Amino acid sequence: MSELTKNVQPLADFDWNQFENGTTVNVSKEDLDKAYDETLNKVSEHQVVEGTVISADKKEVVVNIGYKSDGIIPASEFRYNPDLKVGDVVEVYVENAEDKKGQLILSHKKARLSKSWERVNAALENEEIIQGYIKCRTKGGMIVDVFGIEAFLPGSQIDVHPIRDYDQFVGKTMEFKVVKINQEFRNVVVSHKALIEAELEAQKKEIISKLEKGQILEGTVKNITSYGVFVDLGGVDGLIHITDLSWGRVDDPHKVVELDQKINVVILDFDDEKKRIALGLKQLTPHPWDALDANLKVGDHVKGKVVVIADYGAFVEIQPGVEGLIHVSEMSWSQHLRSAQEFLKVGDEVEAVILTLDRDERKMSLGIKQLKEDPWEAIEVKYPVGSKHSAKVRNFTNFGVFVELEEGVDGLIHISDLSWTKKVKHPSEFTQVGAQIDVVVLDIDKENRRLSLGHKQLEDNPWDVFEEKYTVGSIHEGKIVELLEKGAVIQLDENVEGFATPKHLVKEDGSQATQGEVLSFKVIEFNKDSKRIILSHSRTFEDPQREEKKAAAKKARAAKKDDAPKIENIAASTTLGDLDVLANLKAQMEKGE
C-alpha cells in the first residue's frame, strides 16, 4: 500500500448500486467532510515527512505528502539534484499545514538540514562520494551546497591542474569527497581533486616507470613562468627551461607556447626518483648552426639584431639560434676603455664583419670598427710631423695631457711642451678635460699607435729674445708674485718669470722683501735650456758698494806706489850679496819715518 492510500478506509454503509445507477444518496456535508478528512494523512507542523514530486519546472516543485493540498517548494532548493523528476520521493519539512490562503507550506532545504550533519559525518567516515551544487565563488575557492549545508571547496581541490577560471564551475553539480569537518563551527571542507588523484597516481607511476632520456612524449602546457614552462605528461609534470624552448634567445615564454597547448617534448634528464623531469622543445628541431651557410667565412659581412648587451660587448643574432659576439674593443678604433652601451642597444639592426668562426664550438666573433678604415694605416699622410691640428682633451697625468684628434687617434702633450714661459705644475692649471686645444705633431709612434704632440711649438720660442734681453748683470724691474719657502717668484714681464732666493731678497735697510712689492732685480744667472732666470735684489745695491770699495782700495794702492818709486827700484836690484846696501836702506827708511 502506498503512502498516499495507507490511511484510506472504505465506507461501511456505501451503496454501490445506487452509485452505479446514478441514484442520489442523501449524505450530509459534515459526513462528507468527515469521510474526506479520514482519507488524508494526519500532518503535524515542524516535522519531516516524505512526499512525492508530482510536477517540477525551473521555478517550483510541487510535492504531494497525502495531505488535502500539495506543497510548493522553490526549485532552487533542488539545485544540488539536477536529475530530479516527477515521481521521485523527497523529504520535506512541514513549516505550516495551512497558511492564511489555505496553502501547505513545505521546505526541502530544512528537511535536508535536519539530517545533513548525520549524512555529512557518515560521508566523511565512509569516504563516500557525494554530490554537491557549486553556488558561488569565495576567497580562495568555491561555496558548495552539500545536503543543504554550505561547504567550502578550496581552489587547490577543484582539479589536479591549476584553475585559472573559477567562474566556469559556478552553477555546476559535481561529485565530491568530504575531507574535513569542524564540529564546533560546523564547517565542512570538500574536494573534487581527491576523487581523481588515486586514479592519476596509478597513471603517474606507470608513466614514471617507463620514462627514458631522449624519449619524446606529448604533453599539455600547464603553467608558464618567467623561467620556463610546466608541461603535464598525463599526471606527471615536467619543466622546459626557458633556454630549452628555442635555439634563439627567449625573453618571454608566452611568445613560444600558450596555456593548454598540446606539444611534443623530449626528456632531457630526471632525478633518481623521477620527481623532477627536465624537458626540451628546441631539441626536436635541427640546430641552426647546422643550417648555417657553408660558404660563410672570416671577413664576410653579416647583418643581425642585437639581442643581449653587456659592458664587455653585444651579442648579435644573425639568424635564429646563431649569434656572434662583438667585443667592445671591436666597436671602435679608439683605445679608451668604454662600455658597449655607448655604441649599441638591444634591438639595434647592425652590419658586422666576421672576425673568427668556429663551427665545431658554434662560436663567432664579429667587429663593426672594421667597416671603417683604420686611421693608423695612413697616419703619416693625415698627421705628418709638423702639421697643426685641433684635439679634444681626454684626461690628465702628472706628466702631460692625453688628447684625441679623432676616434682612434690619440696623442700626448708632455707638460714641458705646454708653454714656453709658464711653469706648469699640473696640466689642469693649463686646460680642462673636454676642452679643445691646438697642437702640432712632434713625433709618430705607429707601432704603439701614439702621437707626440706639442702646444707651445705653435709659437716662436721667446727665450731666444729673452737671451738677449736678460743678460747676466742686467738690471730689471720685477714684481714679487709668490713667496715660497726657498725664495720668491718674480714677474719680470707678461710671459717670463724669475726666481730669487731669500738672501737675495734682503733690502738695503736690512728688511726682507714682501709679496706684491715692485723692486729692481739683477740677473745673476740665465739658463735658456732649463728656462731659468735667477735674480737678486740685494746685489743691485751691494755690487755698487763693493765696486766703490774696490776702487778706493785700488786708488790707495796707486798713491802708495807713487810715493816710494826709488825704494822699489832699489829693492828690485837688490841681490843676496848686497847686504851692506840693504842695511843702509833700512836705516834710511826708519829715519824717514
Query: HSE on the CB side for 583, CA within 13 Å?
Result: 4
Cβ burial 215-229 (10 Å sphere, 16+ → b, else e)? eebebebbebeeebb
pLDDT of residue 586: 61
CB 362 within 8 A of CB 318: no
3-state secondary structure of 102: coil
Say what the pTM is.
Answer: 0.43
Q: Which residue, among 362, 351, 345, has the nearest Cα to 310 in the 3D structure?
A: 345
How many Cβ atoms are within 10 Å of 502's Cβ, its own excluded? 14
CB 308 within 8 A of CB 348: no
Amino acid code (one letter) for 373:
E
Residues of the chain with pLDDT under 70: 1-44, 272-274, 336-337, 421, 464, 494, 562-593
Interior angle at CA 483, CA 482 and CA 487, nearest 5: 120
CA distances 471 to 24, 206, 530, 546, Å, are 171, 110, 15, 21
Across-strand partners of 237? 232
pLDDT of residue 102: 72
The answer to whether the Cα torsion of 128, 129, 132, 136 is positive or negative is positive
Distance of CA 17 to the CA centre of its chain: 105
pLDDT of residue 22: 55
Dump the DSSP string for 136-160. Answer: EEETTEEEEEETTEEEEEEGGGT-S
How many Cβ atoms are within 10 Å of 212's Cβ, its own excluded? 7
3-state secondary structure of 533: strand
DSSP state, 69?
S
* Distance in angstroms (rounded) separating the CA atoms of residues 371 and 133: 73
Domains along the chain with CATH numbers: 16-110 (2.40.50.140), 127-196 (2.40.50.140), 210-284 (2.40.50.140), 288-371 (2.40.50.140), 379-458 (2.40.50.140), 462-593 (2.40.50.140)
Burial of 150 (0-12, 13-18, 19+ CB in 10 A): middle
Query: HSE on the CB side for 575, CA within 13 Å?
Result: 2
Query: HSE on the CB side for 105, CA within 13 Å?
Result: 10
CB 560 within 8 A of CB 553: no
CB 174 within 8 A of CB 132: yes
pLDDT of residue 16: 61
Dump the DSSP string for 304-323. Answer: EEEEEEETTEEEEEEETTEE
Give the DSSP H or E segment for 64: strand 60-64
The answer to whether the Cα torsion of 138, 140, 146, 149 is positive or negative is negative
Q: What is the Cα Rg of the chain in Å?
A: 59
249: which 3 cell numbers?
A: 634567445
Q: Which residue, among 27, 88, 17, has the nearest Cα to 56 in the 3D structure?
A: 88
pLDDT of residue 17: 63
Dump the DSSP string for 283-351. Answer: GGS--GGGGS-TT--TT-EEEEEEEEEETTEEEEEEETTEEEEEEGGGS-S--S---GGGT--TT-EEE
Across-strand partners of 265? 217
pLDDT of residue 572: 46
Burial of 480 (0-12, 13-18, 19+ CB in 10 A): buried
535: which 3 cell numbers?
A: 735674480
* Distance in angstroms (rounded) separating the CA atoms of residues 509 and 461: 39
3-state secondary structure of 34: helix
* Distance in angstroms (rounded) separating the CA atoms of residues 592 and 588: 6
